[in-house]
Amino acid sequence: MRGKVALVTGGSRGMGKAMIEAFASEGADVIIASRKIDNCEKLAATVRERYDRKALPVACNVSDWAQCDALVQSAYAEFGRVDVLVNNAGLSPLYPSLDQVSESLFDKVIGVNLKGPFRLASAIGSRMAAADGGSVINISSVEASLPDPQALPYAAAKAGLNTLTAGLAQAFGPTVRVNTIQCGPFLTDIAEAWTPDMRAHFTTSSALGRPGNPDEIIGAALYFATDASSFCTGSILKLDGGYR
């Protein structure tokens, strides 16, 4: 990835952090986008020191259209290009029952998981297609295919993201590839909110008998970010440990 620029939303922690460090270790300059600028700046310092790559930290709530546009402007002002976009930011708050899902919670979940990725992929994908091409990687969830009543707005948003992947691949081909990594349960910040029953379910429902670790997304991310996947677009790769 030397000479490439990669932008990762939700990039300061969990799977996002793992992808940022993997891309930097392979020679990419990186843009670390997350709601909390302190975490972004801390990781940016690590990238500069450990991998000797450029790193731009940007505070961005991807559910806000204007903040997505500002992120794009900052990225292109700093680097003049984005070669890899990873729509990784996600949100799945718990709720007591479906009838108690508030409008604000529903809008927030759709905003982070679907609206933001649409805006960023549309804006950056258009620029990629007009230049030298690139790769867009969406991070989806098994909830898109196996919706749980405890996470239904999130499942609907991720199903929409899978649909966007297919449509954007057609819109921006042949020079821009758009693919999705459909993740199962991973031990990221979201796992801290799991109840004991949820944790047990995620373990017994997996062929590998455990949730994933954040760094286990690296192989799939590097595959889609590089020419290793040069004939792959509009695809959904299940990375779920055999979840069912």
Residue 91 corresponds to which amino acid? L
CB 212 within 8 A of CB 184: yes
* Burial class of residue 204, CB neighbours in 10 A (0-12, 13-18, 19+): exposed
CB 48 within 8 A of CB 25: no
Mean pLDDT on 173-187: 95
Mean pLDDT on 205-232: 95
Query: Would you state the pLDDT for residue 192?
Result: 74
Mean pLDDT on 77-94: 95
Sign of CA dihedral 192, 33, 106, 144: negative
Query: Would you state the pLDDT for residue 79?
Result: 98
Query: Would you state the pLDDT for residue 1?
Result: 96
Catalytic residues: 154
Could you name the CATH architecture of 5-239? 3-Layer(aba) Sandwich (3.40)
Whether the pTM exceeds 0.85: the reply is: yes
Over residues 9-47, the pLDDT tens digits come to: 999 999 999 999 999 999 999 999 999 999 999 999 999
Q: Per residue in 101-121, is it b (16+ CB within 10 Å) or e — as a string?
A: eeeeeeebbbbbbbbbbbbbb
Residue 197 in tokens:
């029953």
Spans of all domains in the chain: 5-239
Question: Binning pLDDT at 50, 70 and 90, where does residue 62 land?
Answer: very high
